[in-house]
A and B are shown apart, each in its own frame.
Chain A
Amino acid sequence: MIATATPTGAAVLATAVFLACAVEMVEALTIVLAVGVTRGWRSTVEGVAAALAALVALVVVFGPALVHWVPLSWLRLVVGGLLLVFGLQWLRKAVLRAAGLKAKHDEDAIFAEQVDELSALPASSGRDATAFTVAFKGVFLEGLEVVVIVITLGTASRRLGLAALAAAAAVLAVVVVGLLVHRQLSGVPENAMKMGVGLMLVSFGTFWSAEGVHASWPGSDLAIPVLVAFYGAVAWLLVAGLRRGAWRPDGRTSAGSANA
């Protein structure tokens, strides 16, 4: 039985990769714009290109190797476990942010902070090593999480091409929107996107880790959208409970304290 053999599973997989990649690239775009605006665009673009090439190389080297050399049941067990841990981390943060117990990602503040830091550094004539390095690190570090998601989801579902395509589409979408609006994308509903990615990663993680130990899912991979809906309901209940003050030592509600 091949998970995500149905169009539903493939659609959930492509959506998960696209959203995860888009969120990370929105964060990378903020850094790249800050570098480009303060240090010039030539070395910044070179740093971005080098980082993207390194990320693609990681997928090309490790993706097919895992598909060819690791047995599917072992791959699903390990990948499922990784996705569960990773997805639960995303979901936990999104729940805490939605409940107002954790500050939301503020692209405007991050952009201003980066511009301040980079403006304080001495200017460089010709190629700018600072611009290259900061742009490279920004894109590479944000992209590493995407590479892990593409490789794990792509190899375990035997749809590495689809996962890579979804990631590339997200990079392209963010670059095009970034070029059009020419500023950091602070209006993007990042937390809602992260919540969606977390739900899908946890759902795939649950599905594959259980398959990896030979559990039997009723309905095969039609169980994946059911899992997404179940975890969505759980997340909603947790956010609602936290907003009412559940589990807070002082019993305070968290409404209106989004930056707590």
Chain B
Amino acid sequence: MPEPGPDDPPTPARWPTALGRFWWEFLIGDTPELFLGVVAVVGLLAVLCLRPGLRTAAALLAPLLVAGVLAASVRRAARRR
């Protein structure tokens, strides 16, 4: 029996692999720095929000951190071209 090609529709036995591959491509793909950056930003915000007095500061800090992740990823792409 020939091996299934990458473009063949997944059989039921291959659905978990296909689903895993979809989410891997969807979330990580060729930009793992974005995924890791988002995890780090959300983790840092969660730690800050443990202190109720810092919850507004955490919200204000969030877009600055996210913008930093975007800038770092764009910089990485530009340097590779």
Contact = CB atoms under 8 A, between A and B. Distances in A.
Chains A and B are bound partners: yes
Interface in A3-22: none
Contacts of A82: 27
A95 B37 CA distance: 18
B27 to A, nearest CB: 6
B79 A89 contact: no
A78 B80 CA distance: 31
A84 B38 contact: yes
Contacts, number: 116
A9 to B, nearest CB: 16
Nearest to A216: B55
Interface in B57-80: 58-60, 62-63, 66-67, 69-71, 73-75, 77-79
B34 to A, nearest CB: 5
A230 B63 contact: yes
Given A84-B38, A85-B34, A260-B81, A210 B58 contact: yes
Dominant secondary structure of chain B at its interface with chain A:
helix
A88 B81 contact: no
Interface stretch (A23-31, A41-49, A176-184, A243-251): A243-251
Interface residues of B, number: 36
B56 interface: yes
B46 A213 contact: yes
B78 to A, nearest CB: 4
A77 interface: yes
A216 B59 contact: yes
Interface string A149-187: 000000000000000000000000000000000000000
B47 to A, nearest CB: 9
Interface of A: 77, 80-82, 84-86, 88-89, 91-92, 95-96, 99, 101-102, 133, 144-145, 148, 202, 205-206, 209-210, 212-218, 223, 227, 230-231, 234-235, 238, 242, 246-249, 260
9 contacts: A88-B69, A92-B34, A210-B62, A216-B58, A230-B63, A242-B74, A247-B74, A247-B78, A247-B79
